[in-house]
Amino acid sequence: MTLDPYLALPARPVAPERFTDEETYRQTRLPVDLASTLIPDAYCSPEFFALERERVFASGWVAVGLVGDVDAPGRCVVVEVAGRSILVTRNRHGELRGFHNVCRHRATKLLDDDAREVGRHHRIRCPYHSWTYDTDGACLGTPLFEGSDVPTGEEPVFDRMARGFDRADHGLLPVSVDSWGLFLFVSLAAEPEPLTTALGDLPQRFADHHLDGWTAQRRLTYEVAANWKLVGENFMEYYHLPWVHPELNQVSRFSDHYRWQGPGRYTGMCTTPVSRNTEAGGWDGLRPLSSLGPQDADAGRFVWLFPSTALVVLPNHAFVLFNRPVAANRTVETAVLLTHPESADDPDAEAGVEALAKFWDLVNRQDLEIVERVQEGLENPAYRGGRMCFRFEEPLHRFQNMVIDRMVGIDRVPAGDGLDDGDTMTRMFPDP
């Protein structure tokens, strides 16, 4: 007689003080063919969500946007990381700079969420009391604060000034920023690890794609009534494909999927060969990039950048999903369709982009509908966790253990799949 493994799972709810306890995750720490999923509270509990913001999102690199959106001095984006508003821009020398989007005087939010330029003459001005900063974060102006700019004749009103004040001590609060390929990254850590450590072997794997030259063609925002991790876990597996994606299943077959991951804070899969379109649509529509080697020229690469960003790169286009956690059961997702530079002189590019955008929107809406149903199920206290399926869910196991590492305070970069040939491409369905 075998003991029901369900009985070994933690009862619900888990006390919040146990969310940082290694023992809480004992069943998920087992090898994937024995493991159970992450505790349901990780997807439902406001207390877990609050702790996760600090331990997962505020402790390491997060992909927050596109390099192309800050392509010149003074250009900027405003993003949210772990509940903080962050502005990313370039200084007068073209160097990336990041700051908390907060005035040093009375904490006013400096730039609106949709800001694309920092302001006139590359100056960041507070809308409240007009304190002003440059794109290196230096405080340039504090009107009527030091006495140097008091209007003539108004001196009696300003008979006392701030003492012991130096503008040099009141610059914007800096945030670490970096880039790779088409992505901007932010880290709120006081001393972040090098971005290259988190990326692992991804720059090498995508070297022939020259991702830094790809440009955004379409953007859509989706409101998702589900935890951000469910969006990621759905992206990482193809187990659901025949039942959720009948159209995609015609051009992305079970037997054509492989794990594709080496050392780095990511999970990866690929599909090869890339199938041709059907009447329901597909991934054709633009000509492929000419710089690709034989493997990349006929493969789609699917990568989840820890913690919350999806990257799909096919020979002729890329698709990105930025996922911003808003609550334990709510995520805001921004989808971006990108093309490579050689698409610019393709006479059929506009029609190809439209067809791809329509197909990805269909696939994404199907995914979001199903993850919202998963969220509903997870809210049921009767459910305490489920078993992993090795053939399909090894990347989920890798991802969930990365989350656990952060929650319990372990700093670890996952290794690769352990193959000897250097390619670490493992067929999802090994030959018998």
**Three-state DSSP state, 268:** strand
Cα–Cα distance for residue pair 97/409, rounded to 1 Å? 28
pLDDT in tens, 189-217: 999 999 999 999 999 999 999 999 999 99
**Three-state DSSP state, 254:** helix
pLDDT greater than 60 at residue 336: yes
Q: State residue 152's pLDDT score.
A: 59
pLDDT in tens, 50-68: 999 999 999 999 999 999 9
**Three-state DSSP state, 228:** helix
pLDDT greater than 90 at residue 74: yes
Q: Which two tokens stand for residue 133?
A: 């900063």
Q: Mention every residue, 6+ apart, whose C-beta is less than 8 A from residue 145.
A: 161, 162, 165
The answer to whether the beta carbons of residues 343 and 326 sit under 8 Å apart is no
Q: State residue 431's pLDDT score.
A: 36
Query: What is the rounded average pLDDT for all residues in the chain?
Result: 86
Q: State residue 137's pLDDT score.
A: 96
Which CA distances in Å does 285 have to 277, 302, 346?
9, 19, 10
Q: State residue 156's pLDDT score.
A: 55
Q: Where are the beta strands (DSSP E) in 317-371?
A: 318-327, 330-339
| Average pLDDT for 83-96 | 97
pLDDT in tens, 385-416: 888 887 778 889 999 999 999 999 999 999 98
pLDDT greater than 90 at residue 347: no
The answer to whether the beta carbons of residues 224 and 331 sit under 8 Å apart is yes
Phi-psi region of 144 (alpha: psi -120 to 50; beta: other; left: phi over 0): left
Q: State residue 401's pLDDT score.
A: 96
Which one has a higher pLDDT value, 425 or 369?
369
Percentage of the residues of the chain whose pLDDT score is greater than 90: 61
pLDDT bin (cut points 50, 70, 90) of residue 423 is very low
pLDDT greater than 50 at residue 432: no
The answer to whether the beta carbons of residues 388 and 37 sit under 8 Å apart is yes
pLDDT bin (cut points 50, 70, 90) of residue 144 is low
| Average pLDDT for 141-156 | 60
* Segment holding 133, helix H or strand E: strand 132-133
Q: State residue 64's pLDDT score.
A: 98
The answer to whether the beta carbons of residues 266 and 200 sit under 8 Å apart is yes
pLDDT greater than 70 at residue 171: yes
Q: At what angle do helices 228-235 and 349-378 cross, to 10 degrees?
A: 120
Cα–Cα distance for residue pair 321/307, rounded to 1 Å? 12
pLDDT greater than 80 at residue 231: yes
pLDDT bin (cut points 50, 70, 90) of residue 421 is very low
pLDDT bin (cut points 50, 70, 90) of residue 133 is very high
Query: Mind listing the domains of the chain with CATH numbers?
Result: 62-176 (2.102.10.10), 200-427 (3.90.380.10)
The least confident of 34-38, 134-138, 282-286, 328-332 is 282-286
Q: State residue 424's pLDDT score.
A: 42
Cα–Cα distance for residue pair 323/331, rounded to 1 Å? 6
* Segment holding 311, helix H or strand E: strand 309-313
Q: State residue 40's pLDDT score.
A: 96
